[in-house]
Chains A and B, each alone.
Chain A
Amino acid sequence: MSFWSITLATLAKDIRLEWRSKDALNAMLFFSLLVVVIFVFSFDPLAEESRHIVGGLVWVAFLFAAVVALNQTWARELRNQVLDGYRVSPAPATALFLAKVLGNFIFVSVLEALMAPLFVIFYNLHVLGPAWQLIPVALLGTWALVVNGTFFAAMSLRTRSRELMLPLLLFPVSIPAVLGMVAATTNILTGENSAHFYIVLLLTYDVVFTTACLGLFETVLQAE
């Protein structure tokens, strides 16, 4: 029994379940669309102003939308107590965690790929800095959101008001990452400063929190 075969089997199972129900993707998509439309009606910025604020708008929209997916991830493990089925098996807890993180990463990335063109159109964006750097920022930023989000969603699983608990736990811990994502995105869009420092910050954040979450997840999973 290999760690990766269990991780991939769990990931494939999660993708199959999401493909059939589309619970998380639909909820995230409509939520993000709403945010974009509300922001467009609330502000009417010039192209220059857009470049300064859209980094923040994009990541706030993705952060809130991700919370919807993160809650769904574990909610389906509670139905019929299937999580207990995993707990009594010899499969490692970290394989489950990693599969969930990878699954959420895929779902949120799909959302970002669908929503990014809308932001470009609605805010009339033209990237003045090195546009390719948006890719590592998006990948590292998304990973930062989902790795902590998956962990805290599992922690809040057995609380009575888990939908409320997740943002309360997740948002404060995500502040350094969100600052990094927003600053890096703004620097790339405006071309005024280098985003290098913030990319390294996001990378460091991801390594530290991925390691911590992997190390602590067994305790979270086995908690009663």
Chain B
Amino acid sequence: MSSSAIAPAGLSAVSLSNVIKQFGRFAALRGVNADFEAGRFHVILGDNGAGKTTLLRALAGLAHPTRGTVSILGKPPHEVCHEIGYMAHPSLLYDEMSGMENLRYVARLYGISGDDRCRWVIGDVGLDPDLSRPVGQYSQGMRQRMSLARAILHDPKILLLDEPFSNVDVHSAREMVSLLKTMRDSGKTIFLVTHQAPLLDGVADEFVWMQAGQIINRTPHFDARTTPAKQP
């Protein structure tokens, strides 16, 4: 199925027009055309190497398309970076500093003064803002939560989350899903790359299937039978 043929009719928060991203001779994205509605929860699925992370990095402005254009809220990503929250596979945190120290520094980058907002988001992801341990000594699950706190710290309109549930126990993952649902309900547009799609069934608004650098399907519900690997 062509991704351009299934573009939703609502207000578009993110628009990709013939986006090609090449690394040398390898094309990670091969002419992606898609529009994504604002205020919805989009889950990006696909096998390893399908181009999910590259797509997310292109939306964040970290990977510049070789050809084509990426538009976030009608502008190039770098012009609306204060409206984008990005959570990568690595934590984007300094291991030698505590969670609060990390967020305090990130807050300054976004022009947020004071500690109130930092304390609030750390509490929101279920961690203790007074924890003085350096992030390097956190468990993987705590690190993922702190990484999520970092991404939502500046209250962005667009959230880009790359495998937030990896190495997170089911209970913690469900708590994160609940938080994301609340954020979606408050009008955020969420893009989430995961291999644990069943967790998001009934919560996400759309499942976007990628294969070989292209969007091949977009469905409102998760159905393992529609995975690219099982298509004829």
- Which residues of A line the B interface, CB within 8 A? 1, 5-6, 9-10, 13, 16-17, 20-21, 76, 79-82, 84-91, 222, 224
Of listed A1, A10, A76, residue having the most chain B CB within 10 A: A1
Closest A-chain residue to B147, C-beta based?
A80
B16 at the A interface (CB under 8 A) = no
Closest A-chain residue to B21, C-beta based?
A224
Closest B-chain residue to A1, C-beta based?
B111
Looking at chain A's contact residues, the main secondary structure is: helix
- Whether B63 pairs with A91 at a CB distance below 8 angstroms is no
- Which residues of B line the A interface, CB within 8 A? 60-64, 81-82, 84, 86, 88, 90-97, 101, 105-106, 108-111, 150
Q: How far is the CA of A13 from the CA of B109 in the complex (A)?
A: 12
Q: Which residues of B contact A88 (CB under 8 A)?
A: 60-62, 81, 84, 86
26 contacts between A and B (CB under 8 A): A1-B111, A9-B108, A9-B109, A10-B105, A13-B101, A16-B97, A21-B96, A79-B94, A79-B95, A80-B91, A80-B92, A80-B94, A81-B92, A82-B92, A85-B86, A85-B92, A85-B150, A88-B60, A88-B61, A89-B82, A89-B106, A89-B110, A90-B109, A90-B111, A91-B109, A224-B62
Q: Which residues of B contact A80 (CB under 8 A)?
A: 90-95
Looking at chain B's contact residues, the main secondary structure is: loop
- Whether A5 pairs with B82 at a CB distance below 8 angstroms is no
Whether A90 touches B61, Cβ cut-off 8 Å, given contacts A76-B94, A81-B88, A81-B92, is no
Of listed A6, A16, A88, A224, residue having the most chain B CB within 10 A: A88
- Whether A89 pairs with B81 at a CB distance below 8 angstroms is yes
Closest A-chain residue to B107, C-beta based?
A9
Q: How far is the CA of A4 from the CA of B24 in the complex (A)?
A: 38
- Whether B62 pairs with A87 at a CB distance below 8 angstroms is yes
Closest A-chain residue to B160, C-beta based?
A88
Q: Which residues of A contact B106 (CB under 8 A)?
A: 85, 89
Q: How far is the CA of A87 from the CA of B88 in the complex (A)?
A: 12
Q: How far is the CA of A80 from the CA of B87 in the complex (A)?
A: 11
- Whether B90 pairs with A81 at a CB distance below 8 angstroms is yes
Q: Which residues of B contact A16 (CB under 8 A)?
A: 97, 101
Nearest-neighbour CB distance to chain A for B15, whole angstroms, equals 19
Nearest-neighbour CB distance to chain B for A47, whole angstroms, equals 45
- Whether A90 pairs with B96 at a CB distance below 8 angstroms is no
Closest A-chain residue to B77, C-beta based?
A88
List the 5 closest A-B pairs by CB distance, nearest first. A1-B111, A85-B92, A9-B108, A91-B109, A89-B109
- Whether A86 pairs with B97 at a CB distance below 8 angstroms is no
Of listed B81, B96, B110, residue having the most chain A CB within 10 A: B96
Nearest-neighbour CB distance to chain A for B86, whole angstroms, equals 5
Further 17 A-B residue pairs, CB within 8 A, beyond A85-B93, A89-B110:
A6-B108, A9-B109, A10-B105, A20-B96, A79-B94, A80-B93, A80-B94, A80-B95, A81-B92, A84-B86, A84-B88, A85-B86, A85-B150, A88-B61, A90-B82, A90-B111, A224-B62
